[in-house]
Structure 1
Amino acid sequence: MRKTIYLIALAGLTQLAWHSPADAGVECENLQAKTDSVGITISESAKTSPTNDIPVGHCLVRGIVGARKGTDGVSYGIRFELRLPDQWNGRYVHQFNGGNDGTVVPAVGPLLGGNKQDTALARGYAVVSSDAGHDGKANPDRGLAAGAAFGFDPEARRDYGYGAVAKLNPIAVNLVETYYGKKIAFSYGVGGSNGGRHGLMAATRMPNDFDGILAGYPGFNLPRAALQHALDIQSWAKVNSDISKALSREDMATLAKGILAACDASDGLTDGIVGDPDSCETLFKPQALQCPNGRTDDCLSEAQVTALLASRAGPRGPKDEQLYSAWAWDPGMASANWRGWKLESAVDSWGRRPTIGVMGAASLAQIFTTPPTSVGGTPEELQKFLLEFDIKSESSKIFAKDGVMTESAVEFMIPPRSDNPDLKDFREAGHKMIVFDGNADPVFSVLDTVNWYQKLDANNKGAAQSFVKFYRIPGMPHGAGGPSYDDFDFFSPLVDWVEKGTAPQAVSAGITQKNGEAKALVGVRYLYCPYPQVSRVKPALQARKREPASKA
């Protein structure tokens, strides 16, 4: 794909018309009586005053859809909450949550940028959120493995993968329209991580339900990515049995400096950002950082370089086939976020083991393999599971099914045809999507998302940008933050695209005040260009030492 250079102004915000429940509809307290849907129980519907945390007056609705007893004897159902703002803009957001779900995250509609106060609810959208069909605290006897214990029930697996959104969305839409007495003008789906996967799943399985979808750092290949957890833990353990000491913070800082030294200037400006990541794949070789004669403070040992290369290559199967993706080099690998996922968390009760070695292990054992494996709930037991997981012989379990689990993890978790996507029905419905991913994401490889988008583009004869825009974020780990310009807004351009037909181009970004890892970056603003375009600095501007706002 050809890279180009361009300048673009940000699209303006869509003008909204405000509605209140007084315009028609029903009173908040009476909403429960208006619900006659089979299988739904509303437990609460009450007017809620603004608070410091949620500074928007609204009607709060809580309930459950499809309550049942699982095959494992545990109670299941899609618990949800819906927040209906007093000043409604006529629009609706389905909030796709992340991780293993299992809890009803407040339905405020985070918009995935570094500014956590910028939410869909604050903008006047009605917002629904759910636990995706299971209670993550339902099995306290399983210790740290409890949050993934729902994987022993086949319907809970299916709801987590795609069923919960499909079941809840029409019910939520009906409640919104009943309350306000008006049809929803536009519907959106928003989520990051597993929530981003929910977004891509919705575009595939529910192509008519959402006018626009914002999918951040999407884990659409989650069962395959879970195999990477085993590869990482096994790779680090070959350096040091104490995973946290395999690569220290200083070691990762050395790696980041090496990446910047090789790749920073490739976009035309030395500014602490690797703006042309493709060129970095050839410019940077970690072997250049290997200590020639013994260990020093500014180089890496041979064992560390070997471990990094093994991790970066991705897991391989019994026929040496690529099971997941390779990974990109980016200075954001030295971020606290990357370290927390891959090497050392800040959780003392875990023995500071990385998130992949605790929660990731529980998920691979109980959700993403068939039959599920009952694992101990201590940090030691969970990490031991990954250390002993034979990737070549046991990876087939993510594709397996049996008489109880009639869908494999690959089938219920990965959007259909993700290995060769076209999103034909979503495109023909006239709907739009923005996908963004961090080049330093430690959980889901940005190169996997690049591969997905390249295939989507090829299957749409080079016109994928007519309905899906993809942005790569330099320096960003798993979510906004790290040594990156994290103050961005991809939701407003999505709304303008859906409602005004104004296709997104370059998106301006700054640095939030709380992002201490980005303070060393030059300048105040940056432009994120849609893939495959790359932000560059014109030589004349660089000579005048203009800040990165001039990147185009």
Structure 2
Amino acid sequence: MKKRLLCASATLASVALVSACGGGDTPPPPPPPSATLPQLTPATAAPLVGTCDALLNFVYASTTMVSAVSVPAGTLRNHNGNPPVQIPVGEHCRVEGRMLDRTSPVDGQAYAIRFEMRLPTNWNGRFYYQGNGGLDGNLRDAIGDFGGVPMTNALQKGFAVISSDAGHNNESGQDPLFGVDPQARVDYGYGTVQKLTPLAKALIQRAYGKLPDRSYIGGTSNGARHAMVAAARLSDQYDGILANSPGFNLPKSAAAQLYTAQQWRKVATDETDLRTAFTVPERRLVANAILARCDALDGLADGMVQDIEGCRTAFNLFRDVPTCSGARDGPTVNPATCLSAAQKSAIDAMYYGPVNSRGEQLYATQPYDPGLVGNLWTSWKFTALADRDAPAVGVVFMSPPDATLVSGFQTGADEATITREFAFRFNFDIDYPKLFVTDGVYTESAMSFMTPPNPTNLATLRDRGGKMIVIHGASDGPFSIDDTRNWYRALNDSNGGEANRFARFYRVPGMNHSRAGPATDQYDSLEALIQWVEFGRAPDSILAQARGLGNPGGRNNELPADWAPDRTRPLCPYPQVARYNGTGDIERAENFSCR
């Protein structure tokens, strides 16, 4: 196998290359090693002042209040597990509004930022901005989701929570065509959070007679990207940042998905069904080979690869998985016994990530992990390539948008066909640089409006006592955990090796995008963040549990049969690994240490 380089030479003149290699950031001044960071005080509770319907009279610039309705306790219930377990949400006020109604001079469409806010009758003094996923466009319930399939949410904990559609409306058919309007692009990227944060705090002051004592922002996927952007752009407004499975380099990762489609096309038996490139039995073959080489690296063969870094050298696809001497048997035999040489090359290229014709690496690598057998990995790697990533790249992220794709969506062409064709023809020499450029209409590039500016310069957050928790699954389909690892390494370097004093990164072995896969994917990262921000209790580990039969968060049907249904493990801050202590029940987290 040809040895690959982690990053091409920085002397190559390429905007895309500089960004891919992490160049252009101004590192913050690291604090002296002995400096004590400020300790923020805990939030204090307060009751709702007056009636809920009175909030319909709330006045804020360029804002129209739509409704204010009291929601009795128990109307909302969190989770429907197997068997059903429902946890009631307390009484609260549900407020809806819209901000900055306008008509676009570019596409003639009507836009506004729609928002929902839920304000508990018994408020804990905290505010939570709920970042939503995908291309947004939907006004989701402001319950305070934060990832990790927890058995509670921010609203149940007593937070005041806001949610939005990020400035465009799916119900009006604006997804993905909102990308034609430059202002809608910016609102989707960071503008909505920037505009709604002061509104939400003003509404809280009206509702409770005081501003929030502590403010948090969090979410999963694109919602986690919102949180990471806020850590850089709004670090004076938020005390706690929570990012679960973040796509903070979302334009790059979406383009990488198109590269993946191009690799699968080379070996698929049916290019309209890319799953034929790498079938379930073939993925199981690779997963078993990974486990055979890497499972015991952490001190215990338990079906989990905790030592992700060690596995990079222990496992080799070309050496450790048999190569078919004739035709593939994976499409017809279960279990599969081999991969073709062409399959191995395509899989290896996918894990390495996209390159242009000069061999310059344009996104991050991905680690081999047995979670590739998961259904969410399958969904993102084979079917979401066209229906999610192609529209995002072609309409929202390229400047200007791809005319053929835009026309297809406007005229109601078959979406599966036009997005697949776009993915297959996407050119990494010609099209990929359009993620980084501007023109007279699109004055901000996708890499400007979607990603954190200077993502390793979080000095403001750090120096005011703010904290950040980032969690990522090792088998995340769309977003590479290595991209997040590379960011954290750079953050640590720019903080004199002491980033863990205010920011920590945790990896979840086996977990797919945000949840599922053979993983302990249930954890309460928001509570860990509260304890760190307000009480100074640094999360040296976060308890994670498997979701077997009877779990209130819903059963994860992808758990191996030999796992306890309530297996627990510590999630360890990078670069530590959860290692078995050598004695005690292997299903219990207390018998593992982060080291």
Deviation at 1:502, TM superposition (A): 1.1
1:43 to 52, 66, 79: 66
Q: Hey, what's the Cα distance between the residues in 2 that align with 1:434 and 1:81?
A: 25
Change beyond 3 A, Cα 1:298–1:429: same
Contact conserved, 1:235 with 1:310, CA < 8 A, in 2? yes
Deviation at 1:335, TM superposition (A): 0.3
Q: Which sits farther off after the overlay, 453-462 or 287-296? A: 287-296
Partner letter of residue 412 of structure 1? Answer: F
| 2:521 pairs with 1:493 | no
Partner letter of residue 41 of structure 1? Answer: T
Contact conserved, 2:312 with 2:368, CA < 8 A, in 1? yes
1:394 to 425, 431, 440: 431
Q: Deviations over 1:188-246 (max 9, x none)?
A: 10111111111110010111111101111111111111111211111001011231211
Q: Hey, what's the Cα distance between the residues in 2 that align with 1:290 and 1:155?
A: 52
Partner letter of residue 102 of structure 1? Answer: G
Q: Hey, what's the Cα distance between the residues in 1 that align with 2:388 and 2:522?
A: 29
For 2:429, what is the secondary structure of its paired residue? helix
- Structure 2 alignment gaps of length 5 or more: 1-40, 79-88, 330-335, 410-414
Deviation at 1:52, TM superposition (A): 4.6
Q: Identity of aligned pairs, percent? A: 39
For 2:578, what is the secondary structure of its paired residue? coil
Matched with 2:280 is 249
Matched with 1:403 is 440
Matched with 1:289 is 321
Matched with 1:456 is 491
Matched with 1:108 is 143
Q: Hey, what's the Cα distance between the residues in 2 that align with 1:31 and 1:521?
A: 54
Q: Hey, what's the Cα distance between the residues in 2 that align with 1:222 and 1:172?
A: 26
| 2:591 pairs with 1:550 | yes
Matched with 1:301 is 340
Q: Hey, what's the Cα distance between the residues in 1 that align with 2:578 and 2:209?
A: 46
Partner letter of residue 323 of structure 2? Answer: C
- Structure 1 alignment gaps of length 5 or more: 1-13, 140-145, 344-353
Size of the alignment, in residue pairs? 514
Matched with 1:259 is 290
| 2:164 pairs with 1:123 | no
Q: Hey, what's the Cα distance between the residues in 2 that align with 1:541 and 1:51?
A: 46
Q: Deviations over 1:461-505 (max 9, x none)?
A: 001001101101100110022110012111111101111111111
| 2:410 pairs with 1:373 | no
Contact conserved, 1:483 with 1:521, CA < 8 A, in 2? no
Q: Deviations over 1:292-346 (max 9, x none)?
A: 4223422212222111011111111343221111111100111000001112xxx
Partner letter of residue 532 of structure 1? Answer: P
Matched with 2:123 is 88
Contact conserved, 1:228 with 1:314, CA < 8 A, in 2? yes
| 2:583 pairs with 1:541 | yes
Matched with 1:277 is 308
Partner letter of residue 390 of structure 2? Answer: A
Q: Hey, what's the Cα distance between the residues in 2 that align with 1:212 and 1:321?
A: 36
Deviation at 1:392, TM superposition (A): 2.2
Q: How does 1:1-16 map to 2 (within 5 A)?
A: none
Question: Over aligned residue pairs, what C-alpha RMSD do you find?
Answer: 1.7
Matched with 2:257 is 229
Contact conserved, 1:186 with 1:211, CA < 8 A, in 2? yes
Q: Hey, what's the Cα distance between the residues in 1 that align with 2:504 and 2:429?
A: 35
For 1:392, what is the secondary structure of its paired residue? coil
For 1:273, what is the secondary structure of its paired residue? coil
For 2:507, what is the secondary structure of its paired residue? strand
1:30 to 54, 66, 76: 54
| 2:98 pairs with 1:64 | yes
Q: Deviations over 1:338-387 (max 9, x none)?
A: 001112xxxxxxxxxx0122111111100110100141241111111000
Q: Hey, what's the Cα distance between the residues in 2 that align with 1:313 and 1:407?
A: 29
| 2:384 pairs with 1:338 | no
| 2:223 pairs with 1:195 | yes
Matched with 1:416 is 453
Partner letter of residue 91 of structure 2? Answer: G
Matched with 1:355 is 384
For 1:51, what is the secondary structure of its paired residue? coil
Q: Deviations over 1:103-131 (max 9, x none)?
A: 1110000131223x411101111100001
Contact conserved, 1:337 with 1:477, CA < 8 A, in 2? yes
Change beyond 3 A, Cα 1:75–1:53: farther
Q: Hey, what's the Cα distance between the residues in 2 that align with 1:16 and 1:474?
A: 34
Q: Deviations over 1:406-459 (max 9, x none)?
A: 0111111111123xx121111112110100111101111000000000000000
Deviation at 1:521, TM superposition (A): 5.6
Deviation at 1:68, TM superposition (A): 0.7
Matched with 2:17 is none
Q: Hey, what's the Cα distance between the residues in 1 that align with 2:252 and 2:231?
A: 20
Matched with 1:213 is 241
Partner letter of residue 50 of structure 2? Answer: V
Q: Which sits farther off after the overlay, 363-372 or 41-50? A: 41-50
Q: Hey, what's the Cα distance between the residues in 1 that align with 2:70 and 2:351?
A: 51
Contact conserved, 1:230 with 1:391, CA < 8 A, in 2? no
Deviation at 1:73, TM superposition (A): 0.8
| 2:50 pairs with 1:20 | no
Q: Deviations over 1:19-44 (max 9, x none)?
A: 321xxx332111122x2221011000
Q: Hey, what's the Cα distance between the residues in 2 that align with 1:456 and 1:521?
A: 39
Q: How does 1:499-510 map to 2 (within 5 A)?
A: 499-510=534-545
Partner letter of residue 56 of structure 2? Answer: Q
1:467 to 483, 486, 502: 502
Q: Hey, what's the Cα distance between the residues in 2 that align with 1:546 and 1:476?
A: 17
For 2:309, what is the secondary structure of its paired residue? helix
Q: How does 1:503-522 map to 2 (within 5 A)?
A: 503-512=538-547, 513=551, 514-520=555-561, 522=563
Contact conserved, 2:138 with 2:170, CA < 8 A, in 1? yes
Q: Which sits farther off after the overlay, 489-498 or 371-380? A: 371-380
Q: Hey, what's the Cα distance between the residues in 1 that align with 2:132 and 2:440?
A: 30
For 2:77, what is the secondary structure of its paired residue? coil
Contact conserved, 1:528 with 1:535, CA < 8 A, in 2? yes
Q: Hey, what's the Cα distance between the residues in 1 that align with 2:588 and 2:69?
A: 50
Matched with 2:332 is none
Deviation at 1:183, TM superposition (A): 2.6
Deviation at 1:157, TM superposition (A): 0.5
For 1:121, what is the secondary structure of its paired residue? helix
Matched with 1:445 is 480
Q: Hey, what's the Cα distance between the residues in 2 that align with 1:415 and 1:527?
A: 29
For 1:150, what is the secondary structure of its paired residue? helix
Q: How does 1:69-80 map to 2 (within 5 A)?
A: 69-70=103-104, 71-80=106-115
Partner letter of residue 454 of structure 2? Answer: R
TM-score using structure 1 length = 0.90
Contact conserved, 2:148 with 2:244, CA < 8 A, in 1? no
Matched with 1:480 is 515
